[in-house]
Amino acid sequence: MCGIVGYVGRRPGQPIILSGLRRLEYRGYDSAGLAMVEPDRLAVVRAVGNLDSLFAAADGLDSSSCTGLGHTRWATHGRPSEENAHPHQDCGGRISIVVNGIVENYKSLREELVGRGHVFTSETDAEVVVHLIEEHMGDGLAAAVRETVARLDGHYAFCATSVDEPGLIVGTRHEAPLVVGVGDGEMFLASAIPAFLCHTKRMVVLEDDDVAVVRADGVTVTDVAGGPVDRPAQEVPWDDDAAEKGGYETFMLKEIYEQPTAIADTLAGRLDDDGGVDLSDVGLSDDLLRRLRRIYIVACGTSYHAGLVASYALERLARVPVQIEVASEFRYRDPVLDAETLVIAITQSGETLDTLVAMRLSRAAGAPVLALTNIMGSQATRDADAVLFTRAGLEIGVAATKTHTAQVAALLLFTLHLAEVRGAAPTDELIRVGRALRNVPQDVQAYLDNHRGLDEIAERYHDRRFFLYLGRHTGFGVCLEGALKLKEISYIPTEAYAAGEMKHGPIALLDEGSPVVVVATDGPVYPKLVSNIEEVRARKADVIAVASEDNTAIDELATAVLHVPRCDPWLAPIVAVVPLQLLAYRIARLTGCDVDQPRNLAKTVTVE
């Protein structure tokens, strides 16, 4: 949510900032703006709606300035409007700022500033920042930013620039992302790496309350008191083409097809040919793992579904009680936590506010926190005791796909490690699952290479107004994920249920021809699931089953079958979710939806 782009260098900044904003579109926004520092004035344009409106407005600006700021805004305080769009200017029109996040104490600050004669032009919480900076400009912009930070409560990142100090941008962050891209004679500031990835692969990751003083020839970082801090530049682990569609019609389709690589990279160096696991990169001691008496998994959306899928294996193989909760509920339920409860927080972005708050709350209660994330340097990596990285690469499609399957693979790795350390499962069973896990990338690839029947099913059902999804055991999380994918990118209402619960209510929804998607890969409850399919068919509803490739018996039972490679039941969810991603994708395309940027959704949800 909200995207910041700053540029200071030797080239005209306007096209660089605008293309950076284009690369942050996936974060979600409803208005956008640009401010360029001209000699003795700011040139500012803002527009409501998508970036095309801003690009059109910026045409008239035609600035050749080499310093400027850009912003995409996802409205929280104040409706989407030109006045509320960033950048915001001070009363004198000499300072400009862009803010991501929320300034919680903005009301009292605004009253105070108005009392001292400041004139506000927007309804936003963010505008207080520029007026505070204006008040403290006596010792220059960097000092003014430091003074301002001391007055703010909330979680935010912001950048400021001033016509009185051309060639300078000052940026800071507090529990919201901001990275500095280090180029050759030019520097970038951004909420996320893709904004500058086509210009440089070197970056400085800022920590909370760092103040970065950025000029074309380099960056100096201090703490809020002005004391120097050392933030060495590091290499971005993604290729330049990660932010490009690479010949695919959408990012989502590209990312679906990247899953074999995402899973293989996540397993690389952590799983040997004999199924042995090495998770020494994670930083959790064997002693702690042996002492654990309980595991809590907290996450949101698709990450929650990954946790749900893996929770069955964790409990069964590692013999630890596992509780799983959506982060937005967990934080308010006053959970019972202690030093022997491991909290696993799953968040691909590492920035989801509900999950971050759940993590902080857990640590404050003395529970060790393991973060499972895809993003180096993200807030989750700072707020955790240990980090297990997925290595799925950059995911731009708002609908998570490759990060989900990589999460499940990583959680299964962790399960095998925990089970081994605790001596909780027979070694030969762990080896069998470990070896099968090594083959999962090939299984997913095999399905992607041959998904016969899928396009016909999408064509046949794409105009239906409701889909029911059913699954049991590990297939329950898969059906929840399949239903979420369809509803978020096609806007078709879906309901996902544990198949055994169907008779307690959802069965009333079924009618002749209602599409019911059933995750029916092999597993301990497969025979029970067959009974549920019979119940659906008895109501004349249609069953679209996902089943193992050599399960021909199900062809007689279901209306249509999506056959996937047969694999170990613990791993089947990774393969079984792929046809559901593709089915949702095809249906959304047939209904003309924008799958990469569905309405109302943001890739990273940094508000409560």
**One-character DSSP codes across 469-530:** EEE-THHHHHHHHHHHHHHHHH---EEEEEGGGGGGTGGGG--TT-EEEEE--SSTTHHHHH
Q: Of residues 349-388, which lie at the interface with ligand M6R (CB under 6 A)?
A: 349, 352, 355
Q: Strands 369-373 and 386-389, how do they pair?
A: parallel
Active site residue 567: no
Nearest-approach distance from CB 603 to ligand M6R, in angstroms: 7
Q: Name the burial class of residue 67, with classes exposed (0-12), middle (13-18) and buried (19+) by CB atoms within 10 angstroms of its CB.
A: buried
Q: Is 31 in the site for ligand M6R (CB under 6 A)?
A: no
Q: What is the DSSP letter of 271?
A: B
Q: What phi and psi values does residue 4 have, to the nearest 5 degrees?
A: -110, 135
Q: Which of 253, 242, 282 has its CA nearest to residue 392?
A: 242
Q: Is 45 in the site for ligand M6R (CB under 6 A)?
A: no
Q: Which of 356, 376, 358, 378 has its CA nearest to residue 367?
A: 358
Encoding tokens for residue 379? 């807030």
- Cβ-based nearer residue to ligand M6R, 301 or 335: 301
Please pick, from the candidates 75, 300, 396, 502, the single residue that binds ligand M6R as defined by CB under 6 A: 300
Q: Is 310 in the site for ligand M6R (CB under 6 A)?
A: no
- Cβ-based nearer residue to ligand M6R, 162 or 348: 348
Please pick, from the candidates 347, 474, 532, 581, the single residue that binds ligand M6R as defined by CB under 6 A: 347
- Cβ-based nearer residue to ligand M6R, 27 or 73: 27
Q: Is 557 in the site for ligand M6R (CB under 6 A)?
A: no
- Position 114, amino acid: V
- Cβ-based nearer residue to ligand M6R, 186 or 488: 488
Binding range to ligand M6R, per CB under 6 A, among 202-210, 230-238, 343-351, 364-372: 343-351
Q: Is 551 in the site for ligand M6R (CB under 6 A)?
A: no
Q: Are 435 and 275 in contact (CB under 8 A)?
A: yes
Q: What phi and psi values does residue 77 have, to the nearest 5 degrees?
A: -105, 105
Question: Is the alpha carbon torsion for 504, 507, 509, 515 positive or negative?
Answer: positive
Nearest-approach distance from CB 10 to ligand M6R, in angstroms: 36
**One-character DSSP codes across 325-364:** EEHHHHTTS-----TTEEEEEE-SSS--HHHHHHHHHHHH
Q: Of residues 383-412, which lie at the interface with ligand M6R (CB under 6 A)?
A: 398-400
Please pick, from the candidates 303, 379, 415, 521, the single residue that binds ligand M6R as defined by CB under 6 A: 303
Q: What phi and psi values does residue 203 have, to the nearest 5 degrees?
A: -145, 160
Helix, strand, coil content of the chain in percent (nearest 5): 40, 20, 40
- Cβ-based nearer residue to ligand M6R, 327 or 518: 327
213: number of CA atoms within 13 Å, CB side? 19
- Cβ-based nearer residue to ligand M6R, 379 or 551: 379
**One-character DSSP codes across 210-265:** -EEEEETTEEEEE-TTS-B-----EE-SS-GGGGS-TT-SSHHHHHHHTHHHHHHH
Please pick, from the candidates 250, 302, 514, 597, the single residue that binds ligand M6R as defined by CB under 6 A: 302
Nearest-approach distance from CB 404 to ligand M6R, in angstroms: 8
Binding range to ligand M6R, per CB under 6 A, among 33-41, 88-96, 122-130, 301-309: 301-309
Q: Is 348 in the site for ligand M6R (CB under 6 A)?
A: yes
Please pick, from the candidates 6, 20, 301, 368, the single residue that binds ligand M6R as defined by CB under 6 A: 301
Question: Is the alpha carbon torsion for 373, 374, 380, 381 positive or negative?
Answer: positive
- Position 548, amino acid: S
Q: Are 603 and 349 in contact (CB under 8 A)?
A: yes
Q: Is 259 in the site for ligand M6R (CB under 6 A)?
A: no
Active site residue 2: yes
Q: Is 266 in the site for ligand M6R (CB under 6 A)?
A: no
Nearest-approach distance from CB 401 to ligand M6R, in angstroms: 8
Nearest-approach distance from CB 334 to ligand M6R, in angstroms: 22
Nearest-approach distance from CB 50 to ligand M6R, in angstroms: 19
- Choose the catalytic residue: 2, 300, 479, 593: 2
Encoding tokens for residue 551? 């399960």
- Cβ-based nearer residue to ligand M6R, 412 or 605: 605
Q: Is 341 in the site for ligand M6R (CB under 6 A)?
A: no
- Cβ-based nearer residue to ligand M6R, 89 or 352: 352
Which residues are annotated as catalytic?
2, 603
Interface residues with ligand M6R (CB under 6 A) are 300-303, 347-349, 352, 355, 398-400, 488, 601, 604-605
